[in-house]
Structure 1
Amino acid sequence: MTTTPFPFSAVVGQDDLRLALLLNAVSPAVGGVLVRGEKGTAKSTAVRALSALLPPVDVVPGCRFSCDPAAPDPGCPDGPHEPGGGTTRPARMVELPVGASEDRLVGALDIERALAEGVKAFEPGLLAQAHRGILYVDEVNLLHDHLVDLLLDAAAMGASYVEREGVSVRHAARFLLVGTMNPEEGELRPQLLDRFGLTVEVAASREPGQRVEVVRRRLAHDDDPAGFAARWADEEAAVRARIAAARELLPSVRLGDGALRQIAATCAAFEVDGMRADIVMARTATALAAWAGRPEVLAEDVRQAALLALPHRRRRNPFDAPGLDEDKLDQTLEEFGGGQGGQEDQGDGDDDPDGPGGPGGGGGQPPAEGPRGGDTGARPEAGDEGEPQPSGGGAGERRPAPAAEPFRTRVLSVPGLGEGAAGRRSRARTEHGRTTGARRPKGALTKLHLAATVRAAAPHQRARGRSGPGLVVRRDDLRQATREGREGNLVLFVVDASGSMAARQRMSAVKGAVLSLLLDAYQRRDKVGLVTFRGSAADVALPPTSSVDAAAVRLESLPTGGRTPLAAGLLRAHEVLRVERLRDPARRPLVVVVTDGRATGGPEPVALAERAARLFAAESVASVVVDCEAGPVRLGLAGRLAGELGGTAVTLEELRADSIAGLVKDVQRRAA
């Protein structure tokens, strides 16, 4: 495996991605880059290549926190350092693994030595290693929320704090933050999206010539990494020098009142929340001017800054794809700044628009939408190879009905106490939450229960020869705090798409209800899956995934018609849960069956459905049946199904009304 990175200048296309990374290299105050896009689009390649372009850093010899010898951190845990002297090393790129623990990220404090010896024995984490370099988080959307919070807080404050039972350590943590993600695997929360300065949507080129060049360069690099890097050495040196020149020019770039008015008007026109967008746009526009070698911010800098800083901040609900209306942007800039003047200066210069700094001027504006687009026209691509066709189609199939307006639903939760991934739905033992007790640690101590530790050590003080005021503490005395918080669950929707559900107004209401539950699942950090049944069989329309908006896309295009193979739908759902239990045994499921309770498909349909339902009851799977039966005469079939499942039933009307306040209690009582 080669250790020679692919040269940054050799990356084909992806101008927006390269530009965003370079702007952060020029001005780390921009706040980092979030790169969104499908797999295989050079996201990681470009990020890893950037570290070779950053200027080397001077550090204090032996300092684990990379203090600058010219201005050492007075609060450095390895200090105090005397000014002067030092060694030079390349800027680091530190990768944060998805499965990293909190201690691995922020560092670990030895609580045992702190209590017994009164010393701060601190082992630095990845934030300390990344100081004055790059911190790269691949698949940032798969990180636990509390790790993302810690990461972004450190990036915003430029420092990391580790506090354990009154003992605290602080160290500088200023780094260029870069995260990459595939939206099909789930989204970041809007408030976390807002903490990234810039975002870029990337997609593989559909131009055959460009794809050929990508393959040609990749193969050449793999065959001879050192030789390939040598061929691009001059271009790399030119970009490196340009970064250094832009950093030197940056403090003197003038951001005039006219550009500030354009920035403020643009943020107001696109209704972004808060003031962070205005500040990021100002810093980005200034960095763009410095990168282009200009002493003053022009209108095209403001425009390019908006295209990079605003799309991820203007999402109004979780299922809206990022994007920006460029016509509206141009109109706003013209109204508040006299048009796009200076377009002839846009770009890296007329001499070499596609050279080492090719992405620098954004020659040709980036598209407002990424691979998923800014409207629903491109969104079916979120579901892999197109929409699955349910079995048993043909006669009776109807055109998909649109979903009704979503609404806020009541909380559905799984009874008992779980130990799954952090989330916001059901009660669980977690690393964060309220303290409920203490236990012996099963490895490294992370959350000390001080009172329990003191109680465990107190009876042994005389035998241990205690002679001073301090408490003699040994490893066996330490107690780990047990905490209770909330977990995310697997919410598996089993949706009846048969002819009995196909009345257009009725199906719209059903889809609106499921869409509302999907919104709730998004907010509670659940995984979701979708099983549909109609005709003669059931289909897994969407395997369990963190991408809730992919489920929404599948739901919108759901066709209806045919018989009601209820048993097939339940059995397929049971199989999905069995497989998912092997993959993620800690994540507890919640099955939501959306049906009127009729069973008409196959031999003995009612008896088969009842036997299938009892499989869920036998395994104590939490379930809710959303009763979609309509009309003045109701047979109560959905309620009977809920009884066989060991769950509870709720009507469409009750799902949104305050009258279902006791629904969760009903689920818990039936499961007890």
Structure 2
Amino acid sequence: MGVNIVEHEGVSYSHPASFIMIGTMNPEEGELRPQLEDRFGLCVEIRGERETADRMEVVRRRQRFLDDPQLFRSSFEPEQQGLRRDILEARRLLPHVTVDDATLELVARIAVELGVCGHRADIATCQAARALAALEGKPDVGEDHIRDAAEMALLHRLRKTPFDNQIKDLERLDRIIERKGKLIDLPFQDNLATSFAAGETTTAASDEAASPPAAKMQERRAEAASKEFEIPSLQGLAAKAVRMGAGKRNSTTTETNSGRKVGHRLPRPDETVGAGNLAVDATLRAAANRTAGTAKPFSIQKEDLRTTIRRRKVGNLILFIVDASASMGCNERIEATKTVVNLLLVDAYQKRDRVGLISFRDEDAQLVLNPTSSVQLANLRIKDLATGGATPLNHGLAMALLVAKRELRRDPDMSPLLVLITDGHGNVGYASQNPLRESLELADKIREQHLSSVVFDTSIDISRIKAGRAVPSHARRIADAMGADYYHLSKLQPQEIIDRLEKHL
């Protein structure tokens, strides 16, 4: 039996409740913060069926359900009743299921060797293993129960950083259980000084005396080399180093119902004050002040209403607009951009930022990576970026403006940052026949939307002489029109870009 607590504006109510929380999410939408993910006891992955016959059966069952839902449900009623009886019997048996010390030690060693933080994984594994044993009608927890329970309890806890490999960790889980959690005895080199104490002599007898220990030692080395030894995981230290800066970057005042209450204000004349944004305490004080010292009974009028001011943490949207045309010396710069995106995604995973990537080449622009904080999805999308062709710079700017406005509609409190990497040599128009003038007009529209932006100019010369005076590069002119910070990079170095972007994040 648990407790359900409801709190709102200083009013708290609690009552006993028996419930199980089950959550679902799409990994492509990003990951949960580790401290929230750890609160879930068990986790399972659900994938679509890969076999043709199974997929056909899914379609058949769906159609049967649509044709007659009641008949479809009744066809599974015997199985449901049998499962219900098994669960009720397992609940009756559960208090009598035991976990001996050897099994408990196995669970603890699994957690230690896999580098699991905290103790919730151990507790969840033992509880789930007892439930599995009870469901099978067995009074003791066995290794099979531990294996099945550990996979569910550890699946979401093993990946401490975005790049950790869950599959390898689960393979290590099998090996740990096979050796029953016992530590591996690594062979140590024999002490040669003892074996060859008489090695200073040059007699044949001393040589013959020294040879058997040497042969034995070679045999032991060969035997040790033939064995497969498990290398302890070193992910723990790296994970701790990466996760030190967890938490969103910025905080902003918001008119939504989410966030920490920091004050109150008078509602606007056209604003409707709902239960979610009503500042109850401030409203009561205003009504009390209005009726104080009068014979009027206490009442709340429209002029007494106050609206809550809330502040919540928000992440950034970092949207790359990358020139992938032939004029950029494509391969080197594209690889550098991939490196930058991956580096930022590690940081985005901690700060709950999102990273997107627009690539433009040939005749149009492509949203290669829709804004995401999922490292797995990003690696999949940017693995093979096409390069070469003309330079449709204006298409990239137009798409960046559309994507940024779309994301702001979804989350008005978000802080977008546009990062343009180009040499500025656009030669394909978006909606006109003058691509140079159009690029400045699009840049000005980005500025009108108050979108923060940075331009990295990769052209060889940052200015040229025309009519006796220096004319800035077109990338510099775009940066000025966007109101963007401008940096010239003759060589696209990933770390230099990261260093430049740090002050904008």
Shared fold (TM-score greater than 0.5)? yes
The 1:630/1:506 distance shift into structure 2, 3 A limit, reads farther
Where does residue 61 of structure 2 map in the other structure?
217
> Aligned-pair distance for 1:533?
0.8
Letter in 2 for 1:259: T
| TM norm structure 2 | 0.73
Letter in 2 for 1:315: R
Does the 8 Å contact 2:97/2:140 carry over to 1? yes
Q: Deviation per CA, 1:455-487, whole angstroms, max 9, x where unpaired?
A: 453132233446xxxxx3425324232122233
Does the 8 Å contact 1:511/1:555 carry over to 2? yes
Q: Which has the larger radius of gyration?
A: 2
Partner SS, residue 86 of structure 2: helix
Q: Deviation per CA, 1:547-605, whole angstroms, max 9, x where unpaired?
A: 56423422232233334332221122234345556x63736562422314331433755
Where does residue 643 of structure 1 map in the other structure?
480
- Aligned equivalents of 1:240, 1:424: Cα separation in 2: 48
Where does residue 497 of structure 1 map in the other structure?
324
1:105-144 → structure 2 map (5 Å cutoff):
none
Where does residue 615 of structure 1 map in the other structure?
445
Does the 8 Å contact 1:577/1:589 carry over to 2? no
Greater Cα offset, 244-253 or 192-201: 192-201
1:238-317 → structure 2 map (5 Å cutoff):
238-317=82-161
The 1:166/1:509 distance shift into structure 2, 3 A limit, reads same
> Aligned-pair distance for 1:454?
1.4
Partner SS, residue 321 of structure 2: strand
**Aligned match of 1:188 in 10, 32, 38?**
32
The 1:450/1:322 distance shift into structure 2, 3 A limit, reads same
- Give the aligned CA root-mean-square deviation in angstroms: 3.5
Where does residue 461 of structure 1 map in the other structure?
292
> Aligned-pair distance for 1:316?
2.9
> Aligned-pair distance for 1:332?
0.7
**Aligned match of 1:629 in 448, 458, 468?**
458
Does the 8 Å contact 1:432/1:483 carry over to 2? yes
Does the 8 Å contact 2:318/2:419 carry over to 1? no
- Aligned equivalents of 2:242, 2:363: Cα separation in 1: 32
Greater Cα offset, 503-512 or 178-187: 503-512
**Aligned match of 2:42 in 198, 204, 221?**
198
> Aligned-pair distance for 1:214?
2.3
Where does residue 311 of structure 2 map in the other structure?
484
Letter in 1 for 2:49: S
Partner SS, residue 533 of structure 1: strand
Greater Cα offset, 191-200 or 492-501: 492-501
Where does residue 516 of structure 1 map in the other structure?
343
The 1:514/1:213 distance shift into structure 2, 3 A limit, reads closer
Q: Deviation per CA, 1:500-519, whole angstroms, max 9, x where unpaired?
A: 44465544332222223334
> Aligned-pair distance for 1:288?
1.1
Letter in 2 for 1:330: D
Q: Pick the structure with more helix per residue.
A: 2
The 1:558/1:231 distance shift into structure 2, 3 A limit, reads same
- Aligned equivalents of 1:446, 1:612: Cα separation in 2: 38
- Aligned equivalents of 1:464, 1:255: Cα separation in 2: 71
Letter in 2 for 1:270: L
Where does residue 400 of structure 2 map in the other structure?
573
Identity within the alignment, %: 38
Does the 8 Å contact 1:530/1:551 carry over to 2? no
| TM norm structure 1 | 0.56
**What are structure 1's unaligned runs of at least 5 residues?**
1-131, 133-157, 339-405, 412-421, 467-471, 665-672
Does the 8 Å contact 1:613/1:641 carry over to 2? yes
- Aligned equivalents of 1:513, 1:616: Cα separation in 2: 23
The 1:280/1:324 distance shift into structure 2, 3 A limit, reads farther
Letter in 2 for 1:601: N
Q: Deviation per CA, 1:295-354, whole angstroms, max 9, x where unpaired?
A: 00111111111221112111132355644544322221122358xxxxxxxxxxxxxxxx
- Aligned equivalents of 1:536, 1:165: Cα separation in 2: 56
- Aligned equivalents of 1:331, 1:569: Cα separation in 2: 50
> Aligned-pair distance for 1:654?
5.1
Letter in 1 for 2:252: R
Where does residue 410 of structure 2 map in the other structure?
584
Aligned residues: 422
Structure 1 segments (4+ residues) deviating >6 Å: none
Partner SS, residue 294 of structure 2: coil
> Aligned-pair distance for 1:662?
5.3
The 1:164/1:620 distance shift into structure 2, 3 A limit, reads closer
Where does residue 192 of structure 2 map in the other structure?
none
- Aligned equivalents of 2:361, 2:121: Cα separation in 1: 47
Letter in 2 for 1:427: T
The 1:221/1:450 distance shift into structure 2, 3 A limit, reads closer
Letter in 1 for 2:454: V
**Aligned match of 2:383 in 556, 560, 563?**
556
- Aligned equivalents of 1:424, 1:473: Cα separation in 2: 43
Letter in 2 for 1:593: V
> Aligned-pair distance for 1:289?
0.8
**Aligned match of 1:443 in 266, 269, 274?**
274
